[in-house]
Chain A
Amino acid sequence: MNFGVVVFPGTWSDCDFHYVIGEVLHQPVRYVWHRDANLADLDCLILPGGFSYGDYLRAGAIAGRSPVVEALPEFLARGGLILGSCNGFQILCEAKLLPGALVRNECLQYRCQSTHLLVENTDTPFTRAMRPAQVLKMPISHGEGRYVVDQATLADLRRNHQVVFRYCLPDGRLTREANPNGSLDNIAGVINEEGTVLGLMPHPERAAESALGGTDGTLIFTSLLGSLVEDGSFLKG
């Protein structure tokens, strides 16, 4: 299966995703320039972390209207999968491919730290290699990662099991202390209704080698690889 890693002006996790996919997991991967709307050769598209366009307007606001993002509905219609991490999550929300928004951290400061995530839904192409209620360790690095959404949408998200990851303590308890940014309901990651677009604030690419302190992030990729191979939904051909 073929991965694409999108590069916006100001993206910085692009190289890290490219390295993990290509050098750690040995999967085919290429960069996708933000002006490039040709995604025909790709099965899974990554929107990485960074400060696209400096995030001077609103995190992800300008990137959410770029040519590559405008091509995403068609990419999804052809069976593609999209993973947005950090700034990628913010962009997906700005592009209305995911519900809700990511606003300034409650502490009003940037936070780079390790977090623990409770896996709430293992029935997605991104999480099927995980166990229900498994606790993953993954770092965050953001100033605007506080997930907010209106009550009605939150109810929908819960009903549809669209909340995929929530910040928790190492033992899985969902407390205020475990929530690094004040996200509603400790929400760290959500998926669209179709289960094809996942956004999360933590950085799975930074938790993909034991030398760097953990490998829980690779579970997302092994889930994806399994999904795309098993159900034959990948586009290449």
Chain B
Amino acid sequence: MGGVTSAEPKVTVELALTHGLTADEYDRIIHRLGREPSLTELGLFASLWSEHCAYKHSRVFLRALPTRGPHVLQGPGENAGVVDLGDGLALAFKIESHNHPSFIEPFQGAATGVGGILRDVFTMGARPVAVLDSLRFGPPTDARTRRLIEGVVSGIAWYGNCFGVPNLGGEVGFAPEYAGNPLVNAMAVGLVDARRVFRARADGVGNPVFYVGAKTGRDGIHGATMASATFDEGAEERRPTVQVGDPFTEKLLLEACLEAMATGAVVGIQDMGAAGLACACSEMPARAGTGMEVELDRVPQRETGMTPYEIMLSESQERMLLVVARGREDEVRRIFGRWELDAVEIGRVTDDGVLRVRHHGHLVAEVPVRALAEEAPVYEKPTTPPAGLAELLAFEPLSLPAPDDAGAALLAVLASPGVASKEWVYRQYDQQVGTNSLVLPGSDAGVIRIKGTRKAVALTTDCNARFVSLDPRTGTAMAVAEAARNLSASGARPLALTDCLNFGSPERPEILWQFREAVEGMAEACRALGVPVVGGNVSFYNETLGQAILPTPVVGMVGLIDDAGRRATQWFAEPGDRVALLGPDAVSLGGSEYLAAIHGRVAGRLAPLDLGLERTVQEACRAAIGAGLVRSAHDCAEGGLGVAVAEACVSGPGPVGAELDLPADGRPAVLVLFGEGPSRLVVSVKPEAERHWTELMGEFGVPWRWIGRVGGDRLVARIGGVPVIDLDLATCGRAWREGFARHVS
């Protein structure tokens, strides 16, 4: 960098190490540049080469995931994935983690997680139509955890409600392993004209580069590197690395961006999220094979005296970088001016593949964009199965004493915070703005209609981390299967998924083994079910003081309902309807909710997963819903058959009882009632459709059986004619409805 005369301190390998780079990586930078980097350049490399941005430890494994499909318009690598819905419409969606910030500052950390994922979706040109959130916490018996829950939920509520997007569901799970490292994963879904999907590319040499949105401050500097390290006792001292959200400005930014995009004056657009300007100014030209020049004096700033290092690395929220068609600058300025937002030309697209950053007349960085965006080292580190896993798997849950009273056990499982109604959470979220919400949170999947068509879209997030911890490969395949099953239970055909892979430190071989197994399991399930991965996020280093979280590969999946009128919800509705269990009998108490809630253990083998059977069962379920044969369909998941039927009784607008008659097949009642296994659904069939149902299931050749009838005001279950459960509906309802609130407040 001839002629650079900046007052920055000299860069040394020691300084590079404090930036989270290794000595090898620092050498690689020197080699690539042919000189030592400036401080600003070091900051650029440290951010772009952080695990969070560069996927250094995960990239080799992620290649296994199928990313293509007939309706995939945009796979991984952009701000969000996009799938075709027909009728000229497409759906953009993505899930992302904000775990580290949310632990340090729950309210703002969670809020800005929602803000970031919304921007990822509207940079694609899509108007956000729903958000979902998948949360994990330590046991709510701990007062600190309760404060975390309250902070996270109110932060999500605040941002999404103010912005004006409905929250359509998600999950809240608990395990001791999350106590020092909660998970906050937010998913956003947007609707976009299939011919007008925008991309984060700096095309067109000479085109001006615009900075739009909120001003840049010193908040969030090093957010990406913070998210790429584990926590110690001093976690709270890192509060300044957490950004502060402004959902109002985000709403204005949304409207202004969509309006500007509609004019045709916008060539490319990228959110300034993790690593801020550094990331946008290198990734956009890298994707397009161009370069970029930016002049930092022009960047709108809300603090004085910011250094180029700080300006480039700031993670101030609600900002975008736009590449505008030359000659159409005024159109863009006018639109952003109307929305009272800054829109400032800060640079231009160049042809030499180099990012040049100027500040106060000095050249402070001059780096090939590919070196930053594409040449981060890729590691293939060793993997080994964790010690003690075989022992956990060898545990036989049936060796524990069976409950004296299966009814009391059912009530306890229904009231456990992982199973109980999450109304305490979602009543704090606007679920209806946009007037598209056909199925609100509280069923297997949220469903939104697509105005102007007959179609609807079903949305879900799923992951049973207990299963994944015992068997990462099968457990992750089961998460994909369950997400697809939740969509199928709503009548939707699964289209594609986005994943949020939350794991501990990849530098530990046993964590990386979990990761590799999980990704391979996901790939197998995706292929078998025909559901590609179109985007996602890896969140490593989720550990505090050496305690890693349960491996938690969260699956966010979207599905299409061709006729919005042909859908199902999870609750029984009509006395007299016949109850069927669709799917195989094979279940296990290994890793079950029962075992965790009643015995406080996570151990044992999982039930077998047959992906071919899974696919056929789901097809049969969708066909029955499409033919109007069923009144309800509910995934049989955490808590097994007992919980699935109880939820079907009490979770709807009008609670109704059921009587079950299960065959005596020699298996213990506790296994029949609480055993968990994939590919199973509880369905209520209209009496007049019984024959049609029987024929249809025969055509699909799927296992199923009648297990009872809807009606009355009790939940009764008999096995071989012997009553094992006999509970009044109000008691079941109270246990399920009040369980969560009782734990968290």
Contact = CB atoms under 8 A, between A and B. Distances in A.
B175 to A, nearest CB: 26
Nearest to A49: B433
A209 B249 CA distance: 31
B162 A211 contact: no
Nearest to A24: B435
Contacts of A101: none
Interface stretch (B25-33, B424-432, B620-628): B424-432
A10 B162 contact: yes
Given A55-B162, A110-B428, A112-B427, A211 B433 contact: no
B428 A12 contact: no
Nearest to B252: A9
Contacts of A19: 435, 451
Contacts of B429: 110, 112
Contacts of A125: none
Nearest to A203: B432
A113 B423 CA distance: 10
Nearest to B339: A9
A110 B107 CA distance: 14
Contacts of B252: 9-10
Given A54-B246, A110-B157, A12 B435 contact: no
B438 A212 contact: yes
Interface centre among B248, B427, B433, by most A CB within 10 Å? B433
A116 interface: no
A111 B424 CA distance: 10
Interface string A1-45: 000000001101101100110010000000000000000000000
A81 B164 CA distance: 26
For chain A, give the interface size range.
20 to 34
Q: How large is the interface on B (under 10, 10 to 19, 20 to 34, 35 or more residues)?
A: 20 to 34
Interface string B410-451: 000000000000000011111111110110000000000101
B119 interface: no
B217 interface: no
B251 A10 contact: yes
Interface in A179-204: 203
B118 to A, nearest CB: 13
A80 interface: no
Given A9-B252, A112-B427, A54 B433 contact: no
A12 B432 contact: no
Contacts of A111: 427-428
B340 interface: yes
Nearest to A212: B435
Given A16-B435, A141-B161, A54 B428 contact: no
Given A209-B435, A211-B564, A56 B248 contact: yes
A51 B247 contact: yes
A175 interface: no
Contacts of A208: 435
B162 A112 contact: no
Contact of A9 (B248, B433, B564): B248
Given A16-B435, A209-B435, A141 B339 contact: no
Interface in A48-77: 49-51, 53-56
Q: Majority SS of interface residues in chain A? A: mixed
A206 interface: yes
Contacts of A109: 154, 157, 428
Given A51-B161, A51-B162, A109-B154, A20 B435 contact: yes
Contacts of A51: 161-162, 164, 247-248, 251
Contacts, number: 80
Interface string B236-250: 000000000011110
A9 to B, nearest CB: 6
A145 interface: no
A47 to B, nearest CB: 15
A143 interface: yes
B430 A112 contact: yes
Contact of A53 (B248, B433, B451): B248
B671 to A, nearest CB: 38
A205 interface: yes
Contacts of A110: 154, 157-158, 161, 428-430
A205 B247 CA distance: 23
Contacts of A113: 427
A24 to B, nearest CB: 9
Contacts of A84: none
A10 B428 contact: no
Nearest to A55: B162
A16 B433 CA distance: 8
Q: Which of B158, B161, B449 has the most CB of A within 10 A?
A: B161
A53 B157 CA distance: 17
Nearest to A180: B427
Contacts of A55: 162, 248
Nearest to B160: A110
Interface string A63-107: 000000000000000000000000000000000000000000000
Contacts of B339: 9
Of listed B339, B427, B435, B449, residue having the most chain A CB within 10 A: B435
Nearest to A11: B164
A212 B157 CA distance: 22
A49 to B, nearest CB: 8
Contact of B432 (A9, A20, A56, A141): A141
Nearest to B249: A54
A56 B339 CA distance: 17
Contact of A112 (B154, B432, B451): B432
Nearest to B166: A112
A205 B434 CA distance: 10
B247 A54 contact: yes
B13 to A, nearest CB: 45
Contacts of B247: 51, 54
A211 to B, nearest CB: 6
Given A9-B340, A19-B451, A112 B248 contact: no
Contacts of B340: 9
A107 B157 CA distance: 15
B244 to A, nearest CB: 12
B248 A212 contact: no
Contacts of A9: 248, 251-252, 339-340
Contacts of A56: 248
A2 to B, nearest CB: 22
B428 A112 contact: yes
Interface string A106-123: 000111110000000000
A211 B449 contact: yes
Contacts of B246: 54
Nearest to A112: B430
A131 to B, nearest CB: 24
Contacts of A206: 432, 435
Name, among A51, A53, A203, the residue most crowded by chain B CB atoms within 10 Å (CB to CB).
A51
Interface in B212-252: 246-249, 251-252
Q: Which of B161, B246, B429, B432 has the most CB of A within 10 A?
A: B432
A147 to B, nearest CB: 20
Interface string B135-167: 000000000000000000010011001111000
A178 to B, nearest CB: 15
22 contacts: A9-B251, A10-B248, A10-B251, A15-B434, A16-B434, A19-B451, A49-B433, A51-B164, A54-B246, A55-B248, A110-B158, A110-B430, A112-B161, A112-B428, A112-B429, A112-B432, A141-B430, A141-B431, A141-B432, A143-B161, A203-B432, A211-B564
Given A16-B434, A203-B432, 13 more contacts: A9-B339, A10-B248, A12-B163, A54-B246, A109-B157, A112-B427, A112-B429, A112-B432, A139-B432, A141-B433, A206-B432, A206-B435, A212-B432
In the A-B complex, the 9 residue pairs with the smallest Cβ-Cβ separation, listed nearest first, are A54-B248, A12-B164, A51-B162, A16-B435, A141-B430, A110-B428, A112-B430, A110-B157, A206-B432
Interface of A: 9-10, 12-13, 15-16, 19-20, 23, 49-51, 53-56, 109-113, 139, 141, 143, 203, 205-206, 208-209, 211-212
